[in-house]
Each structure stands twice: as C-alpha cells, then as structure tokens.
Amino acid sequence: MTHKPTPARSAPTEAPPASSLAAAPAARRPSLSLALLPVLLIVAGLALLLAGQARSGAEEKTGPATLSPAAGAVEPGAGWAAAPTTAAATVAPAAQGVAAAPSAQSTPAAVSQSLEAYCLWPNDTLGLIAQNAGVSEAAILAANPGWTGHAGAAIWLPAGSVPPAQWTSPLPAVTRVEDLPFGVSGYYLGRDNRQKRVALSFDVGYAEGNKALKEELAARGIRATFFVLGGALVKHSYIVDQILDNGHELGNHSYTHDNMLYMPQEMVRWELATTEQLAQQARPGATTRPLFRAPFGAINDTVLGVTNSEGYHVIGWTVDSRDWTDNITADAIYQRVTEHVCPGAIIAFHDVNPANAGALPRLLDYLESNGYQFVTVSEILAP
C-alpha cells in the first residue's frame, strides 16, 4: 500500500505593519458587474456539470456492451470436484501463448464436429494443403477467415475435403526429435500432424485434486505426461508414484518455478538436477529425462544449452488451455481447446482447479467422439 505524502503546511503570513497599510493606495469601489461575476461563474459551472452528467449517461446507454460471465458454467466432474482453488506448491501458469504460432481464426465447436482439423507444419503452403485435401484454396480460406499461415496453427478443412490421415503425399522428413518444429517455448508439434493423435500434458506441483485426475485418466485408458515441480516433491514425494503407477509419463518442470531467463547456467543446471534427484529418491529407477518444460515457457540460449547438455528436450505446446487464467470457466476452457486442437497437438494444462476439472471430462468425450487417440509427449514426438 502506498501512502501519499502529507502536504507541508505553509508558514503563517505575518501582517504587514500599520505604516504600510496606511501607504497602500485606496481600493476602488467594485462595480455592479464585478460584484455579480462570482455568481455568474457558479451558475455556468453548474450548467457544465449537468451537461457532462447527461452526456455520460448517454454514453452508458450507447457505448459498447461489456461481456458478462458465461451463464450455466459446468460444475467440476465427479472425482475432481474437491480440488481447491489454491494449494501449496501449486505451479504458476505459463505466461506465453501457443509455442511458435498464433492460432487460426476461431471456429465454433459445433462446426468442428463436422470438419477435419489440420495443424500447419513449417513451410506448409495453401496450395499444397488444397492439393492434398482435394479442394480449392478459396474453399480453405472461406473456412478459415482468420488464416495466418503460421506453423502450429489449427485450420479447418472445408466439407468434402480428403481427411489428412488419407493424404498420399509424404510427411516431412524427420529422423530425430531435433528435426521437429521448435518455437519460442520448445518443441510444439508432433511428428505426424495427419493422424488424429494428441498428447495431454500437465504442469503440476501439489494440489488435492491431482491424484484423482491421474486415476480418472488411467481409468479411461489415457496416458498423459506430467511435468513435475521439484519443490513439491520435498514434502510430497508420492507424486512420482501417483504418476507412474497410473501409467503416465514423468517430466521435469524445474524446482522453484522461477523464470529461467534471468538465471545463470549454474542455477539452471541446479534446478534440473535437483528435481531429477528428488524424482529418483522418490522412486528408484524413476527419471524426468528427457522431457523438460520451462516455467512460463520462457527459454533462451542459456536455458537451451544447459538443458541439452543435461539430456533434456525442451517441450512447448500447440494448445494452451489457459486453465491458469483468473476467473476462467469450464466452458471457456472447453471452447478454447476444441477450437484449436488438431492432429499432432500437445495440449497444456496445469494443477486441477474447479474450471479445468469441469472441462476435462467433456474434452475427453469430445476428442474421443471425433476419433482422437491419446499418447504421451514422448510418443507424439517420436520420429
């Protein structure tokens, strides 16, 4: 809280000596117009004030409408409903958007049910996509009025298109992970952007609902990747068992979740090594290698150099669910993911909270009903 400085009081002014009063010239008697001047000024001020209030009221009636919170927000699903909104050592949100690329123009989720999605690969051209899909370029642009052509963006193929899984042209040549698309936060798109496969990823510390999340996913036969915060393992080492016993994949999300852009090499190395050591102590044979997601998705040459030397690949995301956003609803998360998901996508979530707990069961139903299979991050990156 900031405090405004108290204005200094002015020193009392001494009265001039009587001799000076006597010497002062006699004041003129004020004329009638001068006497009425203060009254006129007051009246004018009141008129201006009333006019301003009237104009303000008109602006409130005619100005742009503000969005009200979505009605009928979905309540958290069973098993995840008890998740608290805050918890000790909860991972802070990723600050950046989709790694390497803005998303294409949003399309209502209801429309996506009948259209095929495709994730743009670097150097994809509109002409090549149209040729593979067997439709015109104009038809693709009509289905994507916000076309950007940015790699990693999801586009919708118009009705009548050949699905990407049936395209006969060869996939881009990829023989190792290092050949995959790499953006501002790491590798952001899977090896095969034609087959309907997605990787669910969670940046986690400790939250009450996380255990139920892992179990619910396993009960549906879904394997996901959990990037764990080392600091949470100090008091909650069983998190590693929860991940691995339910068939999920373990990754490294640093120890402190501090922004690594401002760390020297030695500190970055310590963050990685300490989290890896805690994972191994929690469960013999466990390892976070070779997957690392930087806090906030923030990386630079120093971070990349250290992570590579420590045997890690830096993982970004194709779709940020934005489940970390203040006041976000389950409906908003559901709409965002369904509008931007595409074959080969890596979808980023965080610790369980009421919003993502309500969205996830619906998202899983949507993806399954649209033919998507769930794989780990390692599997979706595999050449």
Please tell me the total number of residues recorded for the chain in this structure. 383
pLDDT computed for residue 37 by the predictor:
42
pLDDT of 96 over the 60 cut? no
Count helices and strands in the chain by DSSP H and E runs: 13, 12
Q: For residues 168 and 73, give the distance between their C-alpha atoms in angstroms, rounded to a whole number.
A: 43
Same domain, 126 and 188: no
Domain final position from 164, 193, 214? 164
pLDDT at residue 307 greater than cutoff 70: yes
In a domain, 129, yes or no: yes
pLDDT band at 113 (very low <50, low <70, confident <90, very high): low
* CA torsion, ordered 349, 352, 355, 361, to nearest 10 deg: 80
Are 245 and 309 in contact by the 8 Å Cβ rule? The answer is no
In a domain, 80, yes or no: no
45 pLDDT exceeds 60? no
Virtual torsion, Cα 341, 345, 350, 352, nearest 10 deg: 60
Q: Tell whether omega for the bond before 84 is within 30 degrees of 0, i.e. cis.
A: no
pTM over 0.85: no
Beta bridge partners of 156: 117
Contact call for residues 106 and 336 (beta carbons, < 8 A): no
Q: Is the predicted pLDDT of residue 261 greater than 70, yes or no?
A: yes
Q: Specify whether 189 is located in the same domain as 284.
A: yes
Q: Rounded mean pLDDT of the chain?
A: 79
Cα distances from 26 to residues 34, 316, 322, in angstroms, run 17, 84, 77
Residues 235 and 333 in one domain: yes
Mean pLDDT, to the nearest integer, of 282-306? Answer: 98
DSSP conformation letters of 320-382: E--TTSTT--HHHHHHHHHHH--TTBEEEEES--HHHHHHHHHHHHHHHHTT-EEE-HHHHH-
Q: Taking residues 343-347, what's their average pLDDT?
A: 98
Residue 116 CA to residue 136 CA, distance in Å, equals: 15
Stretch 97-102: mean pLDDT, rounded?
A: 34
Inside any domain, residue 330: yes
Give the confidence band of 383 by pLDDT, cuts at 50, 70, 90: confident
Tell whether 112 and 188 lie within a shared domain.
no
Q: State the pLDDT at residue 68.
A: 29
pLDDT digits (tens, 9 = 90+) for 184-229: 999 999 999 999 999 999 999 999 999 999 999 999 999 999 999 9
Gap between the Cα atoms of 44 and 224, Å rounded: 70
The number of folded domains in the chain is 2
> What is the torsional sign of CA 381, 362, 195, 298?
negative
Question: Domain of 257: which CATH number?
Answer: 3.20.20.370
- Tell me if 179 is assigned to some domain: yes
249 lies in some domain: yes
Which residues constitute the domain of residue 321?
A: 174-381
Q: Which of 177, 107, 194, 184 is nearest to 147 (CA)?
A: 107
- Give 71's DSSP letter: T
In this structure, the answer to whether residues 278 and 181 fall within a common structural domain is yes
Assess whether pLDDT exceeds 70 at residue 77: no
Asked whether residue 34 is domain-assigned, the answer is: no
